[in-house]
Amino acid sequence: MYEDKAPESVWLPKRRWRALKPAWQARHNGPAEAETLGTWLYDGFVVRAAFDRLRAFDTETGERRWTWEVPGRDVLLAMTDEVVDGVGLLAHRPDVSGGREKATVTALDVASGKELWSARQDLGRLWHSGSRLRSGTVALSGGRAMVATGASVVALDIRTGRPAWTVPHGPADEAEIGAGSDRLVLVTSHAGTATVRSVAAADGTVHWEKPLPVDGPVERVRVVAVDPLLLAVEGEGRRGPNCLLRLDADGNNATEISPPGDHGTTVPYATWVLDDARRLVTWAGDTLITFVKLPQHDYLTHLAGFSLSTGRHQWTWDDGWGIDALACHRGHVVALRHFEHENEGHVDWSCTAHVLDPADGRVVARRRLRVTADKPYTMHLHGNRMLWVSKESSLGTPPVKAFDWR
């Protein structure tokens, strides 16, 4: 999608605004399904997760390849953001009061949908509300499957589920983990303060442990990414810090992104902005992209780019309505806007894909997609193919569909 490099003649309005038809639409079978809670894209499969099942679809054809039912009367509680070495990690619990105390962690072979192993874990002391998945509960890296509990982080062998190590973390109201580059980052919050630890995934060695470098009471800290190490901080009360932090290899504050100004304030923790909360913050090269709230607006329709190295504001982009899905692909930012409009007395649905240059926020390409009322939960981009995962799946609403970018 390096479309800003193409001759201007390629992007004349007539061609640019020709609506793309779906290359395929996955078949919906049976009654309406629950809303999407999470997704994976891995090795020719896109996986859609609901509270009671996971289904995998072939990215080339849209054919359903496997279904994994959440065991018994359990419901899905958490899943890893990514698949590592062909393995995806899930947590599920009985759907009753106190069910998190009897939670189970399960590893799946994503190519086949077969269960590799399961292990019981007490997740009852971790705060969680609502029907969304709990972020930062399970993670994969360095041959380890890791689980954050109310008392420690437990690591198991990614293939066998055998216990590998345990790192206690002491009293915590919140404990969140993220993994990558053969290390685990653990953030614990307690009584308005937070602590960050860097742990070796292989053996559980704690490389460093430091208080969160912010001034003021902390409500919650979310691990956005491990490489680079990005943390989204939600302050407690009106004087608490609300910012994004980039920490260096030793846990020191390298960049704090919370600058005041006409471009608005960062709100990287507002999970109601996007259904896929993993995409609230993303980055391309040295540019971090996040939602911002302008002083004169009560809603969030603006994206802003900030330098990861300096924290300086670089650009703000407003599509005028709102963004339903966001992703980075081939060094660009792709934003989807799905909306309804009236046409000769009939309500029609449209969707526009905007491709932004992360260096300056300039729109370098746009496409219209031929869509219906089904709202996207998220999108994945694979080569020139855009995979739209629907928020809902029912008769007339495919769970997944694909568009070829041209």
Residue burial 281-310, b: 16+ Cβ < 10 Å; e: rest? bbbbeebbbbbbbbeeeeebbbbbbbebee
Single-letter code of the amino acid located at 227: D
Residue numbers of the domain that contains 216:
70-258
Classify residue 381: in a domain, yes or no.
Answer: no
Q: What is the 3-state secondary structure (H, E, C) of the chain?
A: CCHHHCCHHHHCHHHHCCCECEEEECCCCCCCECCCCEEEEECCEEEEECCCEEEEEECCCCCEEEEEECCCCEEEEEECCCCECCEEEEEEEECCCCHHHHEEEEEEECCCCEEEEEEEECCCCCCCCCCCCCCCCEEEECCEEEEECCCEEEEEECCCCCEEEEEECCCCCEEEEEEECCEEEEEEEECCEEEEEEEECCCCCEEEEEECCCCCCEEEEEEEECCCEEEEEEECCCCCCCEEEEECCCCCEEEEECCCCCCCEECCCCCCCCCCHHHCEEEECCEEEEEEECCCCCCCCEEEEEECCCCCEEEEEECCCCCCEEEEECCEEEEEEEEEEEECCEEEEEEEEEEECCCCCCEEEEEEECCCCCCEEEEEEECCEEEEEECCEECCECCEEEEECC
Q: What is the pLDDT of residue 396?
A: 76
- Give the span between the Cα atoms of 165 and 145, in whole angstroms: 11
- Whether omega for the bond prior to residue 228 falls within 30 degrees of 0, making it cis, is yes
- Residue stretches of the chain with pLDDT short of 50: 1-16
CATH assignment at residue 203:
2.40.128.630
Classify residue 308: in a domain, yes or no.
Answer: no
Classify residue 288: in a domain, yes or no.
Answer: no
Classify residue 206: in a domain, yes or no.
Answer: yes
Model confidence pLDDT, tens digit, residues 8-20 = 443 444 444 578 9
Classify residue 87: in a domain, yes or no.
Answer: yes
Model confidence pLDDT, tens digit, residues 332-345 = 999 999 888 777 77
Tokens 């992360």 appear where? 358
Compute the radius of gyration of the chain from its Cα atoms: 21
- Give the span between the Cα atoms of 254 and 245, in whole angstroms: 8
Residues sharing a CB contact under 8 Å with residue 9, sequence separation 6 or more, in sequence order: none
- Give the span between the Cα atoms of 277 and 65, in whole angstroms: 26
Model confidence pLDDT, tens digit, residues 387-405 = 999 998 877 789 999 999 8
Tokens for 122, please give them.
Answer: 């007490």
| Residues 400 and 386 sit within 8 Å (Cβ to Cβ) | no
Cα distances (Å, whole numbers) of residue 97 to 34, 94, 117, 146, 150: 21, 8, 25, 25, 17
Classify residue 275: in a domain, yes or no.
Answer: no
Residue 279 backbone phi and psi in degrees, to 5: -100, 10
- Give the span between the Cα atoms of 344 and 370, in whole angstroms: 18
Classify residue 215: in a domain, yes or no.
Answer: yes
- Give the span between the Cα atoms of 25 and 295, in whole angstroms: 41
| Residues 303 and 257 sit within 8 Å (Cβ to Cβ) | no
Classify residue 289: in a domain, yes or no.
Answer: no
- Give the span between the Cα atoms of 266 and 33, in whole angstroms: 34
Model confidence pLDDT, tens digit, residues 18-54 = 789 999 999 877 666 789 999 999 999 999 999 999 9
- Give the span between the Cα atoms of 39 and 275, in whole angstroms: 11
Cα-Cα-Cα-Cα dihedral of 106, 69, 86, 160, to 10°?
30
Residue 296 backbone phi and psi in degrees, to 5: -90, 5
Q: What is the pLDDT of residue 124?
A: 85
Counting the structural domains of the chain, the total is 1
